[in-house]
Amino acid sequence: MSELKLSSGFILDYKDIYNEHCIQSGNVDAMVDKVREAHELAQSMRRTGVVEGHVSKDGTPEPVLFSQLPYVEENGINTPQLMERLERLRQYGRNNFDAVISLGIGGSYLGSKVLFDVQCGSFWNQMSDEERNGYPKVYFAGYNADARYLQGILTRIYHDSDARAKQIIGMVSSDGSDDYEFNMPTDGDFVDRHYDPYKVLLMVNSKSGSTIEPMANFMILENALKGHYIDYEVIAITDTESTENPTILHAMALENGWKTFSVPYGVGGRFSVFTEVSLTMGALIGFDVQQFLAGARSMDRACQTDHVFENPALLSAVLKYISAETYGRVIEVFMPYGDCLRSLSDWYVQLLAESLGKQREHQGPYSRTPVAAVGTTDMHAQVQEHQEGRLNKVVQFIKIKSWGDDLIVPNSYGQFAKLEAISNIGLSQILNVALDSNQEALTSDNRFNMTIELPELNAFHLGELMYMYCWAIFYESILAGVDAFDQPGVEVYKRILGPKIKALKEQK
Ligand SMILES: O=P(O)(O)OC[C@H]1O[C@](O)(CO)[C@@H](O)[C@@H]1O
């Protein structure tokens, strides 16, 4: 039985990658020294926050502190005071804003998007205030330089704020009655905002505080809101370490008196989903931040053993590393099943690509190319290639064992045998047997694949899963001999882009 099962119900099933046709026990045995070294470095990083050789962009040594994140401690990064502040943000957001626009890109966006998609699903902004339990609508911006998309957000904001203004002027309630009791708490503890002026929260996320996309989008949005006399507030989430040399975003916050949250020192953007960078978004949508951290804690404990077959992150890293180095499986298709997990794939793509795709001094570059996929959708788009294409990839499935409430396919067209065959079955059951079938099909041709199963999709198990991958990427970086915490490669195009933007300005 090749599976690692934690007491929480989390399962790492590696039988389809570790068997007589794929990775052999001898491959893992041959790595015993490297694995021990990787684990010792992990333990030392836990104790000291130091990863030898890691320096910040400006060349000075920088600690690596993501290992502290699951623990809420007085002297930690996530403190009890921060948890209280997040709770106050939750209530503040619920009582004061109609819409949140979260601006950020890469690590300042992707983790928050995962929390949003898992908690809120696809139709959050179409729900009524009551259905959203008083939490604001949420838009994401600043993850591209796309005028058409941003205009779309603005159009929605104008529409909703105009509708509110009409409501207030006409003193007609949203249900058409003339009952206008302002600001009376309804059944929940949120305030009914039907007759309050429309208000937007702009959450600007940027660790460096000057990334082009979020900052350009922010300035356009702010200008547009002002131009339409729409009330707004700004919260800045940035590196607040230095007040002498603040990031531009921090300087703007100081100048304008905006509230701030911090990208903690020693935590890179792609490892920041367990910090206030994403927990703020969690708070604003009523996501269970405490359970999310509890899941990460539980995973952290499971990852403290040096026994490779008992430590999920170490095992995952070792198998993926051997797949790449010994068997040429240099691509990883990350394929959760279920639409709300599509953004998890996007988050993982950045984590893997930016952490491991690196030059090495003597061995040439290391990388595994991540591919974002989602089941069942991509069974009808990518799977042909996974099944018959080059033997260069590992498919990583993520399965949710129980989706809770299901929808049953009715037997509406029983005269057609193919439709009758799928009737009286739950849609989630179809989702999971589709995953099982894909897995079996790949395995029938000895194509490398692994499956992680979560008992259900909740904050706890999501925390377990995302934290496991933070550690897995760290372990693999040690095995591969790369620094997981820098990204010098992205500076190359940035150096080219800067003058090109300057040239654009000069043409004006
Ligand atoms: O939070 P920032 O500084 O805006 O950076 C956003 C993203 O851009 C990168 O620096 C790459 O350019 C990522 O590492 C980071 O997550």
Tens digit of each residue's pLDDT (9 = 90 or more) over 368-380: 999 999 999 999 9
Residue 469: predicted pLDDT:
98
**What number does the ligand 1 atom closest to the CA of 269 have?**
16
Q: How far is the CA of 51 from the centre of ligand 1 (A)?
A: 21
Cα 383–Cα 389–Cα 395 angle in degrees, nearest 5: 50
On the question of pLDDT at 182 being above 60, the answer is no
Mean pLDDT value across residues 39-47 = 95
- Checking if the pLDDT of 188 tops 90, the result is no
Cis, bond preceding 240 (omega within 30 deg of 0) = no
> Residue 432 CA to chain centroid, in angstroms?
23
What would the mean pLDDT of 66-95 be, rounded to a whole number? Answer: 97
Instruction: Show the CA angle centred on residue 382, arms to residues 405 and 314, nearest 5°.
Output: 75
211 Cβ below 6 A of ligand 1: yes
**Does any ligand 1 atom lie closer than 6 A to the CB of residue 142?**
no
Pairing of strands 393-402, 3-5: unpaired
What per-residue confidence (pLDDT) applies to 1? 66
Report the alpha-carbon distance of residue 451 to residue 398 in Å, rounded. Answer: 6
Distance between CA atoms of residues 313 and 300, nearest Å: 9
User: Does the Cβ of 208 fall within 6 Å of ligand 1?
Assistant: yes
Cα separation, 367 vs 480, in Å, equals 9
pLDDT-derived band at 243, boundaries 50, 70, 90: confident
Determine if ligand 1 sits within 6 Å of the CB of residue 56: no
Inter-residue contact 446 to 14 (CB < 8 Å): no
Beta carbon of 382 within 6 Å of any ligand 1 atom: no
Q: Which of 467, 478, 347, 340 is nearest to 403 (CA)?
A: 340
**191, pLDDT greater than 80:** no
- The predicted complex's ipTM stands at 0.99
Report the CATH architecture of 3-59+291-491.
3-Layer(aba) Sandwich (3.40)
Query: With 90 as the cut, is the pLDDT of residue 319 above it?
Result: yes
Strands 11-13 and 449-456 come out as: antiparallel
Integer Cα distance of 448 and 323 in angstroms: 8
- Asked if the 78-174+188-263 domain carries CATH number 3.40.30.10, the reply is no
Residue 396 near ligand 1, beta carbon < 6 Å = no
Give the span between the Cα atoms of 484 and 22, in whole angstroms. Answer: 27
Integer Cα distance of 67 and 86 in angstroms: 21
Average pLDDT over residues 210-215: 98
Could you identify the residue written with the tokens 């899941």? Answer: 295
Write down the pLDDT at residue 176.
Answer: 53
Q: Is the pLDDT of residue 356 over 50?
A: yes
Per-residue model confidence as pLDDT tens digits over 7-30: 999 999 999 999 999 999 999 999
> Rounded distance, CA 101 to CA 150, Å?
11
* Model confidence pLDDT, tens digit, residues 403-431: 998 999 999 999 999 999 999 999 999 99
Residue 52 has pLDDT above 90, yes or no: no
Number of H helices, E strands in the chain: 16, 11
Identify the sign of the CA torsion 187, 189, 194, 200: negative
Average pLDDT over residues 490-497: 95
CA pair distance 28, 25, nearest whole angstrom: 5
Which of 268-277 are b and which e, b meaning 16 or more Cβ less than 10 Å from the residue's Cβ?
Answer: bbbbbbbbbb
pLDDT for residue 194 is more than 80: no
Q: Are 456 and 404 spatial neighbours (Cβ–Cβ below 8 Å)?
A: yes
End-to-end CA distance of the chain: 67
> Band of the pLDDT at 181, cuts 50, 70, 90?
very low
Say if residues 351 and 413 touch (Cβ distance below 8 Å). no
Query: How much is the average pLDDT of 192-214?
Result: 93
Q: Is 106 in the pocket of ligand 1 (CB under 6 A)?
A: yes
Closest ligand 1 atom to Cα of 106? 16
228 close to 221: Cβ distance less than 8 angstroms = no
Give residue 190's pLDDT band: very low, low, confident or very high (50, 70, 90): low
Q: Provide the pLDDT for residue 169.
A: 81
184 pLDDT higher than 50: no
Cα separation, 135 vs 155, whole angstroms: 21
Q: What is the mean pLDDT of the chain?
A: 94
Q: What separation in Å is there between the alpha carbon of 280 and the centre of ligand 1?
A: 18
Per residue in 255-306, pLDDT (tens digit) is: 999 999 999 999 999 999 999 999 999 999 999 999 999 999 999 999 999 9
Q: Provide DSSP, 12-78.
A: EE-TTTBSTTSB-HHHHHTTHHHHHHHHHHHHHHHHH---TT-B-TTSSB----GGGTT-B-TTSSB
C-beta of residue 463 within 8 angstroms of C-beta of residue 293: yes
Q: What is the pLDDT of residues 123-142, one digit of tens each?
A: 999 999 999 999 999 999 99
- pLDDT tops 60 at residue 183: no
- What are the domain boundaries of the chain? 3-59+291-491, 78-174+188-263
Whether 275 lines ligand 1, by a CB cut-off of 6 Å, is no
78-174+188-263 and 3-59+291-491 share a CATH fold: yes
Q: Are 143 and 269 in contact (CB under 8 A)?
A: no
Amino acid at 241: E
Asked whether residue 94 carries a pLDDT value surpassing 60, the answer given is yes
Q: Decide: 298 and 491 in contact? Cβ < 8 Å.
A: no
Residues in the chain, total:
508
114 has a pLDDT exceeding 50: yes
Question: Among 60-69, 111-120, 323-332, 426-435, whose mean pLDDT is lowest?
Answer: 60-69
pLDDT of residue 189: 59
Three-state secondary structure readout of 284-325: HCCCCHHHHHHHHHHHHHHCCCCCCCCCHHHHHHHHHHHHHH
105 close to ligand 1 (CB < 6 Angstrom): yes
Ligand 1 test: best mutation among 217, 271, 278, 487, most atoms within 8 Å of CB? 487
> What's the pLDDT score for residue 192?
73
How far apart CA 425 and CA 419 sit, in angstroms, is: 11
**Residue 375 has what DSSP assignment?**
B
* Per-residue buried b or exposed e for 109-129, using 16+ beta carbons within 10 Å of the residue's own CB: bbbbbbbbbbbbeeebeeeeb
* Predicted local confidence at residue 172, as pLDDT: 52
Residue 154, both tokens: 């603005």
In percent, the amount of the chain with pLDDT more than 70 equals: 96
Mean pLDDT in residue range 205-229: 98
Over residues 151-175, mean pLDDT: 85
Under the banding of pLDDT at 50, 70 and 90, the label for residue 220 is: very high
Query: Is residue 449 helix, strand or coil?
Result: strand
